[in-house]
Amino acid sequence: MTNLYRLLSEDDVTAGMRVEAEATLEHHGIDPETIRTEFVSHQAIHTYLTEFRGASKERSVDDRVKSVRTTIQRLQSRLVAVAENNLQQLRNTGELSLGEFTVILDVQVLCEDCGESYAITDLLDRGGCDCAMGSEGASD
């Protein structure tokens, strides 16, 4: 459902991808415009639950780190998919000369204090960089 929402509503989606999603919905007897107008944002649901229903969710540090990791991984996957799709389209229309390819995305975090570089997921798994962990250990 998330991908369908993205295909019907986001600006980075090509017209062809949007038309394809709409055709799929119509094939199943669903009006794309009705779906588009009935989408509810995550923020609207959150506001309703917290302000009108008094709901809250306590999050542990581990939950927060897991959530950040998941968000980053989803964004990385989405960027790779968008890049692959656009490169394929350019190749197919003859605007780009390119053989078979793989898009590789590597997000690194550089600690400017100690000069060490970490893959972002490794940094999250470790709980920090060496200099930050060393200073915590020194103050204990």
Mean of the per-residue pLDDT values for the chain? 86
Least-confidence region, from 70-84, 91-105, 108-122, 125-139: 125-139
Q: Are residues 38 and 69 in the same domain?
A: no
Q: Are residues 53 and 63 in the same domain?
A: no
Annotate the chain with three-state secondary structure.
Answer: CHHHHHHHHCCCCCHHHHHHHHHHHHHCCCCHHHHHHHCCCHHHHHHHHHHHCCCCCCCCHHHHHHHHHHHHHHHHHHHHHHHHHHHHHHHHCCCCCCCCCCCCCCCEEECCCCCCEEEHHHHHHHCCCHHHHHHHHHHC
Q: Are residues 92 and 136 in the same domain?
A: no
Q: Are residues 72 and 121 in the same domain?
A: no
What is the value of pTM for the model shown? 0.52
What's the domain range around 32? Answer: 1-57
Q: Are residues 112 and 96 in the same domain?
A: no
Task: State yes or no: pLDDT of 139 exceeds 60.
Answer: no
What are the structure tokens assigned to 31, written together?
């009006």
How confident is residue 119, by pLDDT bands cut at 50, 70 and 90?
very high
The count of structural domains within the chain is: 3
Task: State yes or no: pLDDT of 5 exceeds 90.
Answer: no
The full length of the chain comes to 140
